[in-house]
Amino acid sequence: MSRADALPAEGSHAGRTPGPLWSLGLFRSELVITLRRWRTLALLGVLAVVPVLVGIAVKIETRGGSSVGHRGGDGPAFISQVTNNGLFLVFAALAATLPFFLPMAVGVIAGDSIAGEANAGTLRYLLVAPAGRTRLLLAKYTTTLVFCLLAALVVAVSALAVGALLFPLGDLTTISGTRISLADGLGRALLIALVVAASLVGVAALGLFVSTLTGSGIAAMATTVGLLITVQILDQIPQLDALGPYFFSHYWLSFADLMRDPVQWDDLQRNLGLQALYAAVFGSAAWARFAGKDITA
């Protein structure tokens, strides 16, 4: 599907004021084009494979007679429980992908959103239609947020399928030691996937801002991913503990508190509040930059 085919028909009249339906059509076209790109499909494919590799590794190790639970904390959270209940593979896979794979994928999509259009020469064409820069920027950001949700769900669904295939399913024990039903566990797994997706909102806004600073999609993607790695390294330095709570990745693994009984909401609320703050700051910076950006160069 080309850009011309994807844009709604109302956009062909330059003198017409764009309405809500045109904005919805613009978002739909951006979403369809993004999800059909080979890069997007490749990223989702890699994310779907990670739970498969984790599940197979745990299964092989179990058959070898070693205990995953006696490694002094090595491996992602919940990994020692996978052999007892395949549902724990969902939590382990999300914990394994959140520090790098998920934010990297979101950083690639967000970093390419504006810079990729500029590099391909389609940005000027998009702005000829009466969308306006603000509407286009919102469509790009909303598309990236949908990708955040889709990426987290891909990991969760893949992990659930592999967990059900390789390990038993049933009632599970929470971190607090209480037992909950499989239905309750599935509900918490879905909620955890949603929280993981929400944890990437700040990364999406940061990548969008970086994307407005350059006309090279590769440079924007590389810069965004580089910032992700840098921030997580800084968050691990003891001398910077005072700054830790302000790094967007600091509370990412707080989703584990959803597996407590009762659920502990403090770090979860801090995480969601921090993501909203990053979205507001870098979203505003992206709008300010894009509103004055010279697209004729």
Q: Give me the DSSP letters along 233-262.
A: HHHT-GGGTTTGGGSTTTTGGGGGGGGSSS
Do residues 71 and 149 lie in contact, with contact meaning Cβ atoms separated by under 8 Å? no
| CA angle (247, 238, 234) in 5-degree steps | 35
| Count of positions (residues) in the chain | 297
From CA 72, how far away is CA 61, in angstroms rounded? Answer: 16
Count Cβ atoms below 10 Å from residue 285 Cβ, excluding itself: 17
Strand partners, 172: 180
115 Cβ neighbours under 8 A, 6+ residues apart: 210, 211, 212, 213, 214, 215, 216, 217, 219, 220, 221
Please give the model's pTM, rounded to 2 decimal places.
0.85
What per-residue confidence (pLDDT) applies to 149? 97
Domain boundaries, the chain: 19-291
- The H-or-E segment that residue 97 falls in is helix 88-97
pLDDT by 10s per residue, the chain, length 297? 545 445 444 444 444 555 565 578 788 888 899 999 999 999 999 999 999 999 998 888 777 655 444 444 444 557 778 888 899 999 999 999 998 999 999 999 999 888 887 777 777 666 665 557 888 899 999 999 999 999 999 999 999 999 999 999 988 888 888 899 999 999 999 999 999 999 999 999 999 999 999 888 889 899 999 999 999 999 999 999 999 999 999 999 999 999 988 889 999 999 999 999 999 999 999 999 988 766 555
**Structure token pair of residue 265:** 């909401």
DSSP E strand stretches across the chain: 172-173, 179-180
Q: Which of 145, 154, 260, 251 is nearest to 207 (CA)?
A: 145
